[in-house]
Amino acid sequence: MIFIWLIAIAMLGVLAYVRLAPSDPEVWHVTPKVEADKTFRNGATRRVLTGGGGLKKLETIALTEPRTEIFAGSSESGMITFVSRSRLVGYPDYTTAMQVGEDLLIYARSRFGRRDFGVNAARVDGWIDALVAY
């Protein structure tokens, strides 16, 4: 029985760390290096022709998403990093968007784990769909 309690306490510790671990803007708020659209094991990159004002529109769209907030930057500075947290555990995913001329560069990735099961790509694609309809 003690073993079960120790496992439960260890699991709670891991969950608390995932939820409360500090995030360094120098690590997560970085210039997206996006050559083309790509989906990988724990994230995605997208390049979207938006014209001027695309970043501000994306900011408005992203902030309507539940559990998503600005982590660093602003549309006025030309680059924003959002943090979106999963509903149950609160796993953080970081999405950095930067306006470069007419293009919006987007880089989404998970902080923890080796796989995100397509969550980041789906989130970003949903934001892009809303951006196109904006």
**Tens digit of each residue's pLDDT (9 = 90 or more) over 13-26:** 888 887 788 889 99
Domain total in the chain: 1
Q: How far apart are CA 119 and CA 87, in angstroms?
A: 12
In a domain, 11, yes or no: no
- The whole domain housing 115 covers 24-133
Q: What is the CATH number of the domain that holds 63?
A: 3.30.310
In a domain, 117, yes or no: yes
In a domain, 9, yes or no: no
Residue 88 pLDDT more than 90? no
pTM here is 0.90
Q: How far apart are CA 127 and CA 125, in angstroms?
A: 5
Q: How far apart are CA 12 and CA 6, in angstroms?
A: 10
In a domain, 6, yes or no: no
pLDDT tens, 25-82?
999 999 999 989 999 999 999 999 998 899 999 999 999 999 999 999 999 999 999 9
pLDDT tens, 105-118?
999 999 998 889 99
